[in-house]
A and B are shown apart, each in its own frame.
Chain A
């Protein structure tokens, strides 16, 4: 490695020395000024623009030939309209690209410096300027109108009988949810998320389970705090002072009335309690179970308990209510189906995706369906598509038996952002129904 660095340094120094020599040669020795561009240079630089034009246009055409079919045909209905719009826009843009760049490069060559010529004094021309304000305006008006038409069609409300699928993002994977037999999604609440209830679906069971989990955590933390040595010792001293006030008589502050009250009017029962507590502390300290914790760690745990209690409070505030036909809101989610790593869609159906996020922004990107929507914590978003090509047909079209539609994350969300994918399978309604009925029902894995 050191050798390499040395080598690079040496080569660098030689390069700099050579450059300096070229520099000297090209400027000083020929004795002309830097600002005087020689005829040879003018010719060369002018011609290079033409060469550059051919290279740029040539490689552009080559890229269009080779990469112009950038994606397989759209597998969604609105995607066909989008592709068409893209086609028109690309065509227009490419034509303008060629024409305008050609003008720039050709003029740079054609009107290169000639000491026998004087430039044409042409400061303005209202007619020309109006032309190239009006023509772009008209072209842009067409683009806007056409574009917004497509936009409003694809973003309009989904129809009532569309299939609704929820896609849920978290660092770093996706979960899909389908409504169960009642055709309704159970409502969700992020406070209820547990390993068994990853989407936080609100059901009686979910609530009980989440509360249980919080109680567990609080209890465990409390246990840890009660055996902290420093605090036990401090409490011990305080108890002893309360029980035997004479010990510190000389130092006590007589000005405090309540202090006096405390030891004069202590009831027998209270005193017994304190003595029991003192004995317990001494037992603990002698047992060797007491642990030592830094103040910071102790406070962090206290803080955590505080937050857990707030969390518990938020869950307790959840209210049950009735949804149509006397259905209990907390029952609705019981039959929701939860799917990981691969989800299926029926062909020819309108599908409304509902996106939610657990932690940070993600973006549900399904390039083959020309669909993309951010997932935002606290703010469900939507996107509707209509499937048009099954996975099998697409495999035939592309002559690629391994082809799969894919959902990927397209908003940077952390270190594994680049690997947050889910396979999408489009199939007939029957296949889809069969697949769905096999999927796990909410909390199925609990036993």
Chain B
């Protein structure tokens, strides 16, 4: 392949392409579209939460019969919350983040001409598209989309008679997620194989940039945990359609005692969270990897404690498999079992703390270039710390009893998963935009975008902790009938206002992004003066990435401001000087 520039048709170049750079762009744009959808949904239901029962013409315009008279219907509320969560967690932060940056950076940073299998890579994208389409389609079926929360606990999700959203909408949700898992598995296997087999000469595992380490562990988590979700889904489908009773027992509903006995709804939760918890790290680790790279480059310093960073990624990955039942402290699970999960969950805080401190030490005495990507990465470190800290409270089972399923949890996971991961994604887009599109994004607009986003992000999710501590349950369409929540009702409109402003601020990003694709400043080869291999490829995309032979690596990725060199960066392809000690 290499530098042979053969003619390609539109379809093979832009649609069913095997080229990892194009697939990366496809993932990014699809995720942005899904992101717009997911964020818009949250604005629609935040209107109801901020000003309960008030009429908004915009709701009726967009939702029609779901918002009669401009007031959101209660079933529509639950459907919106559910699909918002599903879209954000899976379609934006899982497929969008890994799909975009694993695809773009793995071959470029390890010195490979493409992914191990371009064909599987293409399939992975198209399974993702189909699953998006099915999910969107499910909004329009009779009874509406799935409405039991993004965790779709049975029996609610198993019994069509339990709520309107548990009919056709739920079946489509399950179908969509199954397709999604296929996409994710194809992608992950490809990433793993590529990283293991296609590293260029001299690039040992201990010289890999932290981005690649993060993508590698993420892919392994995906391969090990997503199949468990599929089993959970298949059993649920069988309960729904074939009269089995894996999750059902002793149920009387719709005036009828069901035949099902002997199943357990709790079994589903064990299966779901066996995926669910690793999933939060599948979302978070790539963001941490991206920020490691961005922070080192823009601090002009080696990432502090490279080995500890790799070690903590692996430790977090491993531990994330043995903490799942911290989502289930109040299911009636044996309290001793709960204790074990308290222990393992709090263990995760140790590698997380190590990572946070290492980031901060990287900033210390750096020479920090405050690019938009850097701002987002610094913001990520802040939200990662803040969200991790509230996780300590949730992990303490005795405390979880009082805040489980309240807005406290919503605040926690949005700060640590929502904000951190989204910040990582933005950082990646601003930093590698020139590798994606050959042009630069506008810096000034990046600044405006960042400050609005972090202020609104904290403005939305920080107060939620207090709402939750006061006892406000999540997934409530309206909590005004509870007098004891009066003390925090004045926070609701504030939160909603921040949400609306924050969402509008994303328009600045959208404009900057799409405008720059066509009109941005043409990029130079290595604008950030970075060490890694992707900056040795030409700005123009070519098949095979490097026009000549593959680059050879002589050092690690973090020789920034190395006193042995005059420049404050040293490309990985630069041979060691006489007497220089390599890494």
Interface residues of A (CB under 8 A from B): 1, 4-5, 15-16, 19-20, 22-23, 26-28, 33-35, 37, 41-42, 45-46, 48-49, 52, 55-56, 59-60, 63, 67-68, 70-72, 81-82, 85-86, 89-90, 93, 96-97, 100-101, 103-105, 107-108, 111-114, 117-125, 128-129, 132-133, 136-137, 140, 143-144, 147-148, 150-152, 154-155, 171, 190-191, 193, 200, 307, 310-311, 314, 355, 358-361, 363, 365, 367-368, 370-374, 376-379, 381-382, 402-404, 406, 408-419, 421
Further contacts, 19 of them, CB under 8 A, given A23-B442, A365-B471:
A20-B515, A26-B443, A33-B440, A34-B527, A71-B469, A100-B356, A104-B382, A118-B300, A124-B308, A132-B353, A136-B353, A190-B252, A193-B252, A378-B265, A381-B331, A406-B484, A409-B473, A412-B153, A421-B481
Which residues of chain A come closer than 8 Å to B149, judged between CB atoms? 412
Which residues of chain B come closer than 8 Å to A137, judged between CB atoms? 350
Does B463 have its Cβ within 8 Å of any Cβ on chain A? Answer: yes
Which residues of chain B come closer than 8 Å to A408, judged between CB atoms? 473, 482
Which residues of chain A come closer than 8 Å to B357, judged between CB atoms? 132
Name which of B32-40, B133-141, B158-166, B279-287 contacts chain A: B158-166
Q: Are A119 and B367 in contact (CB-based, < 8 A)?
A: yes
Q: Are B365 and A119 in contact (CB-based, < 8 A)?
A: yes
Across the two chains, which residue of chain B brings its CB closest to A308? B256
Does B573 have its Cβ within 8 Å of any Cβ on chain A? Answer: no
Q: Are A414 and B163 in contact (CB-based, < 8 A)?
A: yes
Q: Are B398 and A119 in contact (CB-based, < 8 A)?
A: no
A100 to B442, CA, bound (A): 31
Does B582 have its Cβ within 8 Å of any Cβ on chain A? Answer: no
Which residues of chain B come closer than 8 Å to A378, judged between CB atoms? 248-251, 261, 263-265
Instruction: Name B330's contact: one of A89, A374, A415 (CB within 8 Å).
Output: A374
Instruction: Name B455's contact: one of A16, A55, A193, A361 (CB within 8 Å).
Output: A55
Does B371 have its Cβ within 8 Å of any Cβ on chain A? Answer: yes
- Give, as a whole number of angstroms, the nearest-CB distance from A45 to chain B: 4
Q: Are B342 and A148 in contact (CB-based, < 8 A)?
A: yes
Instruction: Name B332's contact: one of A105, A121, A122, A381 (CB within 8 Å).
Output: A381
Q: Are A418 and B155 in contact (CB-based, < 8 A)?
A: no
Across the two chains, which residue of chain A brings its CB closest to B448? A22
- Give, as a whole number of angstroms, the nearest-CB distance from A84 to chain B: 10
Q: Are B451 and A48 in contact (CB-based, < 8 A)?
A: yes
Most chain A CB neighbours (cut-off 10 Å) among B358, B398, B471, B515? B398
Does B186 have its Cβ within 8 Å of any Cβ on chain A? Answer: no
Across the two chains, which residue of chain A brings its CB closest to B339? A148
Which residues of chain A come closer than 8 Å to B303, judged between CB atoms? 123
Q: Are A71 and B342 in contact (CB-based, < 8 A)?
A: no
27 contacts between A and B (CB under 8 A): A35-B528, A37-B371, A52-B454, A63-B466, A71-B470, A82-B401, A104-B360, A104-B385, A111-B367, A111-B368, A117-B367, A121-B301, A122-B364, A132-B357, A133-B350, A140-B346, A147-B398, A152-B339, A155-B338, A191-B257, A200-B252, A314-B257, A355-B332, A358-B252, A371-B401, A376-B331, A377-B249
Does B445 have its Cβ within 8 Å of any Cβ on chain A? Answer: yes
Closest 5 CB pairs of A and B: A378-B249, A381-B332, A367-B471, A155-B335, A70-B469
A393 to B451, CA, bound (A): 48
Does B14 have its Cβ within 8 Å of any Cβ on chain A? Answer: no
Which residues of chain B come closer than 8 Å to A56, judged between CB atoms? 458
A81 to B9, CA, bound (A): 70
A370 to B475, CA, bound (A): 20
Q: Are A119 and B561 in contact (CB-based, < 8 A)?
A: yes
Instruction: Name B156's contact: one of A33, A133, A361, A372 (CB within 8 Å).
Output: A361
Does B266 have its Cβ within 8 Å of any Cβ on chain A? Answer: yes
Which residues of chain A come closer than 8 Å to B497, judged between CB atoms? none
Does B558 have its Cβ within 8 Å of any Cβ on chain A? Answer: yes
Q: Are B515 and A37 in contact (CB-based, < 8 A)?
A: no
In B298-329, the 8 Å CB interface with A consists of: 299-308
Q: Given A104-B385, A119-B367, A120-B366, A359–B354 Cβ distance below 8 Å?
A: no
Q: Are A132 and B524 in contact (CB-based, < 8 A)?
A: no
Which residues of chain B come closer than 8 Å to A89, judged between CB atoms? 392-393, 396, 399
Q: Are A119 and B396 in contact (CB-based, < 8 A)?
A: no
Name which of B110-118, B199-207, B402-410 contacts chain A: B402-410
Which residues of chain B come closer than 8 Å to A122, judged between CB atoms? 301-302, 304, 361, 364-365
Q: Are B389 and A96 in contact (CB-based, < 8 A)?
A: yes
Does B505 have its Cβ within 8 Å of any Cβ on chain A? Answer: no
A105 to B378, CA, bound (A): 8
Q: Are B484 and A367 in contact (CB-based, < 8 A)?
A: yes
A101 to B360, CA, bound (A): 10
- Give, as a whole number of angstroms, the nearest-CB distance from A407 to chain B: 11
A151 to B470, CA, bound (A): 21
Q: Are B402 and A86 in contact (CB-based, < 8 A)?
A: yes
Q: Are A119 and B473 in contact (CB-based, < 8 A)?
A: no
Which residues of chain A come closer than 8 Å to B466, judged between CB atoms? 63, 67-68, 70
- Give, as a whole number of angstroms, the nearest-CB distance from B530 to chain A: 11
Which residues of chain A come closer than 8 Å to B363, judged between CB atoms? 104, 107-108, 111
Which residues of chain B come closer than 8 Å to A132, judged between CB atoms? 353-354, 357
Instruction: Name B473's contact: one of A68, A136, A410 (CB within 8 Å).
Output: A410
Q: Given A151-B339, A154-B398, A358-B252, A171–B162 Cβ distance below 8 Å?
A: yes
Q: Are B378 and A104 in contact (CB-based, < 8 A)?
A: yes
Which residues of chain A come closer than 8 Å to B487, judged between CB atoms? 67, 70
Across the two chains, which residue of chain B brings its CB closest to A66? B466
Which residues of chain B come closer than 8 Å to A414, judged between CB atoms? 156, 162-163
Across the two chains, which residue of chain B brings its CB closest to A55? B455
Which residues of chain A come closer than 8 Å to B266, judged between CB atoms? 376, 379
Which residues of chain A come closer than 8 Å to B441, judged between CB atoms? 34
Across the two chains, which residue of chain B brings its CB closest to A124? B305
- Give, as a whole number of angstroms, the nearest-CB distance from A85 to chain B: 6
Does B215 have its Cβ within 8 Å of any Cβ on chain A? Answer: no
A381 to B264, CA, bound (A): 13
A378 to B261, CA, bound (A): 8
A371 to B306, CA, bound (A): 44
A128 to B484, CA, bound (A): 48
Which residues of chain A come closer than 8 Å to B527, judged between CB atoms? 33-35
Q: Are B335 and A33 in contact (CB-based, < 8 A)?
A: no
Across the two chains, which residue of chain A brings its CB closest to B358? A129
- Give, as a whole number of angstroms, the nearest-CB distance from A415 to chain B: 5
Does B343 have its Cβ within 8 Å of any Cβ on chain A? Answer: yes
Q: Are B342 and A147 in contact (CB-based, < 8 A)?
A: yes
Instruction: Name B511's contact: one of A19, A49, A371 (CB within 8 Å).
Output: A19
Q: Given A26-B442, A358-B251, A90–B521 Cβ distance below 8 Å?
A: no
Q: Are A71 and B471 in contact (CB-based, < 8 A)?
A: yes
Q: Are A101 and B382 in contact (CB-based, < 8 A)?
A: yes
Q: Are A119 and B366 in contact (CB-based, < 8 A)?
A: yes
Which residues of chain B come closer than 8 Å to A105, judged between CB atoms? 382
Which residues of chain A come closer than 8 Å to B131, judged between CB atoms? none
Q: Given A63-B463, A67-B466, A118–B367 Cβ distance below 8 Å?
A: yes
A129 to B402, CA, bound (A): 35
Does B259 have its Cβ within 8 Å of any Cβ on chain A? Answer: yes
Across the two chains, which residue of chain B brings its CB closest to A140? B346
Which residues of chain B come closer than 8 Å to A70, judged between CB atoms? 466, 469-471, 487-488
Q: Are B405 and A411 in contact (CB-based, < 8 A)?
A: yes
Most chain A CB neighbours (cut-off 10 Å) among B57, B332, B458? B332
Instruction: Name A104's contact: one of B306, B332, B365, B381 (CB within 8 Å).
Output: B381
Which residues of chain B come closer than 8 Å to A150, judged between CB atoms? 398
Which residues of chain B come closer than 8 Å to A55, judged between CB atoms? 455
Across the two chains, which residue of chain A brings its CB closest to B391? A93
Q: Given A23-B515, A33-B440, A93–B470 Cβ distance below 8 Å?
A: no
Which residues of chain A come closer than 8 Å to B251, judged between CB atoms? 190, 358-359, 377-378
Does B552 have its Cβ within 8 Å of any Cβ on chain A? Answer: no
Q: Are B524 and A33 in contact (CB-based, < 8 A)?
A: yes
Across the two chains, which residue of chain B brings its CB closest to A99? B385
Q: Are B253 and A41 in contact (CB-based, < 8 A)?
A: no
Instruction: Name A121's contact: one of B164, B302, B350, B442 (CB within 8 Å).
Output: B302
Q: Given A23-B512, A137-B350, A151-B397, A107–B360 Cβ distance below 8 Å?
A: yes
Q: Given A70-B470, A82-B399, A410–B405 Cβ distance below 8 Å?
A: yes
